[in-house]
């Protein structure tokens, strides 16, 4: 009986070492981001850990991009790598951003109701991220090199939205901004993080098409105007370097579904008016 069961279960004999190490680096960064967020205690000494935790999530995104690229380059893509990637993504782009969200707000309200609401939003974020990853595994082939669009907001993009707010808050604590009311800005970030997390959590499980930005921007031959647009975008981001990550991730997260909704409404043809009695019974 035992031999018959083992015959039906495929055994793992070989794995790609370098892509696997990069994928595990993604999980380690997610774990480190959670550990850093745990050191945020509401005092000024804990504020810089916002930025450190956010940057660790960004670093996890870099590992997540490199493991697939290296696996395709070495032609070592496998089912094992895809499953391991999703497990690590659940840590770095599901649990870590949700835990960081719990530390970001709402300090603006002493009522326990708002803190319970934030906990529910953080739990919803984790659920939507896990569902998004499971759906991606089912709907995407083993080698996703050819796909140019995602269905729903990718979990790394959603995590980047929250990580960018944490990095911005950490920069405020380090005194890189002057001449502004820090308490008011922190309160605004807490409200933004709470409501924004709810929006991006729902967008992860939506069917809104999101472009694969790296492939659409860098892959293939483009018109000269496309190069000019990319250069102008980089120039604007350099000028607003403190807000660069916030602009990139939130425009990607919320701007694309807004554009998608607007285009759908414009493409909708007006329905013909119902026929009157004069049309049914002509004179």
Q: What is the pLDDT of residues 241-260, one digit of tens each?
A: 668 889 889 999 999 999 88
Q: Are 140 and 77 in contact (CB under 8 A)?
A: no
Q: What are the tens digits of pLDDT across the range 8-17?
A: 555 665 677 8
Kindly tell me if the per-residue pLDDT of 56 is higher than 80: yes
Cα distance between residue 153 and residue 210, in whole Å: 6
How confident is the model at residue 280, as a pLDDT?
Answer: 47
Kindly tell me if the per-residue pLDDT of 2 is higher than 70: no
| Residue 143 resides in a domain | yes
List the CATH number of the domain containing 259. 1.20.120
Q: Are 150 and 213 in contact (CB under 8 A)?
A: no
Whether this prediction's pTM lies above 0.85 is answered by no
| Structural domain that includes position 29 | 12-264
How many domains in the chain? 1
Listed residue (211, 192, 231) closest to 154, CA to CA: 211
Give one DSSP letter per residue of 208-263, joined into a string: -EEE-HHHHHHSS---HHHHHHHHHHHHHHHHTTTTHHHHHHHIIIIIHHHHHHHH
| Residue 272 resides in a domain | no
How confident is the model at residue 50, as a pLDDT?
Answer: 94
| Residue 233 resides in a domain | yes
| Residue 3 resides in a domain | no
Q: What percent of the chain has pLDDT over 70?
A: 76
Tokens, residue 14: 């070989």
Q: What are the tens digits of pLDDT across the range 153-210?
A: 999 999 999 999 999 988 887 766 666 777 788 888 899 999 999 999 999 999 999 9
| Residue 22 resides in a domain | yes
75: alpha, beta or left? (left if phi > 0; alpha if psi -120 to 50): left
Q: Which of 54-68, 97-111, 257-271 has the lowest mean pLDDT?
A: 257-271
| Residue 269 resides in a domain | no
| Residue 1 resides in a domain | no
How confident is the model at residue 175, as a pLDDT?
Answer: 66
DSSP conformational letter for 62 = H
| Residue 6 resides in a domain | no
């Amino acid at each position: 009986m035992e031999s018959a069961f083992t015959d039906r279960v495929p055994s793992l004999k070989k794995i790609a070492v370098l892509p696997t190490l990069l994928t595990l680096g993604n999980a380690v960064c997610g774990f480190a981001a959670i550990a850093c967020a745990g050191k945020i205690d509401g005092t000024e000494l804990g504020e810089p850990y916002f930025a450190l935790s956010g940057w660790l999530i960004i670093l996890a995104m870099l590992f997540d991009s490199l493991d697939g690229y290296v696996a395709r380059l070495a032609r070592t893509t496998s089912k094992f790598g895809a499953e391991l990637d999703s497990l690590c993504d659940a840590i770095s782009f599901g649990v870590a951003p949700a835990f960081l969200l719990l530390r970001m707000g709402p300090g603006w309200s002493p009522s326990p109701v708002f803190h319970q609401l934030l906990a529910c939003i953080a739990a919803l974020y984790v659920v939507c991220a896990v569902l998004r990853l499971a759906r991606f595994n089912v709907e995407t082939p083993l080698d996703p090199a050819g796909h140019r669009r995602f269905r729903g907001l990718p979990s790394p993009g959603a995590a980047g939205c929250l990580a960018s707010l944490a990095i911005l808050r950490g920069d405020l604590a380090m005194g890189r901004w002057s001449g502004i009311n820090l308490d008011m800005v922190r309160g605004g970030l807490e409200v933004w993080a709470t409501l924004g997390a709810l929006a991006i959590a729902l967008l992860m499980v939506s069917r809104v098409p999101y472009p694969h930005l790296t492939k659409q921007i860098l892959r293939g031959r483009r018109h000269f105007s496309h190069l000019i647009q990319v250069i102008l975008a980089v120039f604007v981001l350099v000028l607003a370097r403190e807000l660069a990550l916030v602009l990139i991730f939130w425009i990607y997260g919320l701007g694309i579904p807004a554009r998608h909704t607007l285009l759908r409404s414009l493409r909708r043809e007006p329905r013909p008016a119902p026929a009157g009695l004069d049309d049914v019974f002509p004179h």
